[in-house]
């Protein structure tokens, strides 16, 4: 029996990389082109953040860092591609929240496990805001709630698709306020914003960068920000808590993940380089023009954040019985 356990333990030790071996796995990384798959269309905050980072990484590493877009299925196409890639650090995922957190609760036939992806880093965060069409008969959150209660089901809201952060935020708002709202899903941000401006939609919970210029031009009304504090760029816009709905908090974020079983040493090396990039004054200034804040932190920080976000929005999904297929 003793010989049996000696053999088992020896096998485990042999299969566990020693610290020196783990370090060696990252010693020559990267030695060729690194590809970042963006699980969203070109031109949005997620895509721009990935491209800003790729340019700086290329300068640091002396290797090409290319960005390719794989939008579709709520981010699942890009995430699924990276989930099936070689775990060597040469294919990375730049993703919005859904494919890393809630899609596993929304899609019955998801062909990858979001929890198996290796967290690398949270790139940026972006506040969400509540906006309504310019002629909507409410100019405060309180007036919106009163109008929605008087007209149950007749107030509609848009989103980039089922299960996206704007969709879930509106569902959370409806639960907290005892209102009934009608969801109109779109396939992206631009059309939903355009339809609010045109008066075809009543309201949106949307990331600030997508609506700020339209608000400043007087094309829509902004009722609240859905983060904890008022924004310096919008000092007159109250928080949702100040507007009387304290339990509705929502922001948008994006992150980098690697294929399952990517060696820790490589993940740590990528994380360190990306933290350096997001600490650069010129990158922070560029992100600020889009109302984005660099996040950063360790892979462990990102893992804990993803777990908390999945639990938080999972409650909303289950309560509203939201599914995609």
pLDDT of residue 211: 95
On whether residue 13 sits in a domain, the answer given is no
Of the candidates 59, 34, 91, 56, the one whose C-alpha atom is nearest the C-alpha of residue 257 is 91
Binning the chain into helix, strand and coil, the percentages to the nearest 5 are 45, 20, 35
On whether residue 198 sits in a domain, the answer given is yes
Task: Dump the DSSP string for 93-127.
Answer: EEE-HHHHTTHHHH-TT-SS-GGGSEEEEEEEEEE
On whether residue 23 sits in a domain, the answer given is no
Rounded Cα distance between 214 and 217, Å, is 5
pLDDT of residue 94: 98
pLDDT at position 108 over 90 = no
Same domain as 190, residue 157:
yes
Rounded Cα distance between 211 and 36, Å, is 27
pLDDT at position 6 over 50 = no
On whether residue 15 sits in a domain, the answer given is no
Rounded Cα distance between 16 and 310, Å, is 30
Sign of CA dihedral 103, 185, 225, 169: negative
Predicted confidence band of residue 4 (pLDDT cuts 50, 70, 90): very low
**Which residues constitute the domain of residue 74?**
31-125+253-320
Rounded Cα distance between 199 and 137, Å, is 12
On whether residue 134 sits in a domain, the answer given is yes
Domains contained in the chain, number: 2
Contact 94, 256 (CB under 8 A): yes
Q: Which residues pair with 129 in a beta bridge?
A: 206, 225
Predicted confidence band of residue 188 (pLDDT cuts 50, 70, 90): confident
Alpha helices in 62-140 (DSSP H): 76-83, 97-100, 103-106
Question: Which of 206, 235, 251 is the C-terminal boundary of a domain?
Answer: 251
pLDDT at position 39 over 70 = yes
Average pLDDT of every residue of the chain? 91
Tokens representing 135?
Answer: 């002629």
Predicted confidence band of residue 19 (pLDDT cuts 50, 70, 90): low
Of the candidates 152, 202, 159, the one whose C-alpha atom is nearest the C-alpha of residue 174 is 152
CATH number at residue 186: 3.40.190.10
pLDDT at position 15 over 60 = no
Lowest mean pLDDT among 122-126, 296-300, 319-323: 319-323
Tokens representing 261?
Answer: 């079983």
Same domain as 132, residue 247:
yes
Chain CA centroid to CA 187, Å: 16
pLDDT of residue 43: 85
Chain CA centroid to CA 181, Å: 24
Portion of the chain with pLDDT greater than 90, in percent = 80
Same domain as 220, residue 140:
yes
Same domain as 193, residue 98:
no
Residues 110-159 have pLDDT tens digits of 999 999 999 999 999 999 999 999 999 999 999 999 999 999 999 999 99
Portion of the chain with pLDDT greater than 70, in percent = 93
On whether residue 16 sits in a domain, the answer given is no
On whether residue 233 sits in a domain, the answer given is yes
Task: Name, in order, each residue with C-beta under 8 angstroms of 81's C-beta and a sequence gap of 6 or more.
Answer: 37, 70, 91
In this structure, the chain runs to a length of: 325
pLDDT at position 301 over 90 = yes
């Amino acid at each position: 029996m003793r010989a049996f356990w000696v053999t088992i333990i020896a096998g485990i030790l042999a299969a566990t990389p020693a610290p020196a071996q783990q370090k060696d796995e990252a010693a020559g990384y990267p030695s060729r082109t690194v590809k970042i798959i963006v699980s969203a269309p070109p031109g949005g905050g997620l895509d721009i953040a990935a491209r800003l980072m790729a340019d700086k990484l290329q300068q640091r590493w002396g290797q090409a860092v290319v960005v390719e877009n794989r939008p579709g299925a709520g981010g699942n196409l890009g995430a699924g591609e990276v989930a099936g890639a070689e775990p060597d650090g040469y294919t990375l995922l730049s993703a919005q929240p859904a494919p890393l957190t809630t899609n596993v609760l929304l899609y019955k036939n998801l062909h990858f496990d979001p929890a198996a992806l290796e967290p690398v880093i949270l790139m940026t965060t972006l506040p969400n805001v509540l906006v309504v069409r310019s002629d909507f008969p409410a100019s405060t959150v309180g007036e919106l709630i009163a109008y929605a209660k008087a007209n149950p089901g007749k107030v509609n809201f848009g989103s980039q698709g089922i299960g996206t952060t704007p969709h879930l935020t509106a569902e959370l708002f409806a639960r907290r306020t005892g209102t009934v709202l009608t969801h109109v899903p779109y396939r992206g941000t631009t059309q939903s914003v355009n339809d609010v401006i045109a008066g075809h939609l009543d309201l949106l919970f949307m990331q600030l960068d997508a609506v700020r210029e339209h608000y400043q031009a007087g094309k829509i009304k902004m009722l609240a920000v859905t983060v904890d504090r008022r924004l310096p760029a919008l000092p007159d816009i109250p928080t949702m808590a100040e507007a009387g709905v304290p339990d509705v908090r929502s922001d948008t974020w994006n992150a980098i993940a690697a294929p399952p079983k990517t060696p820790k040493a490589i993940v740590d090396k990528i994380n360190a380089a990306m933290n350096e990039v997001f600490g650069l004054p010129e990158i922070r200034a560029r992100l600020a023009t889009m109302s984005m804040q660099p996040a950063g932190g360790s892979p462990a920080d990102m893992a804990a954040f993803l777990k908390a976000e999945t639990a938080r929005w999972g409650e909303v999904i289950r309560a509203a019985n939201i599914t995609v297929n």
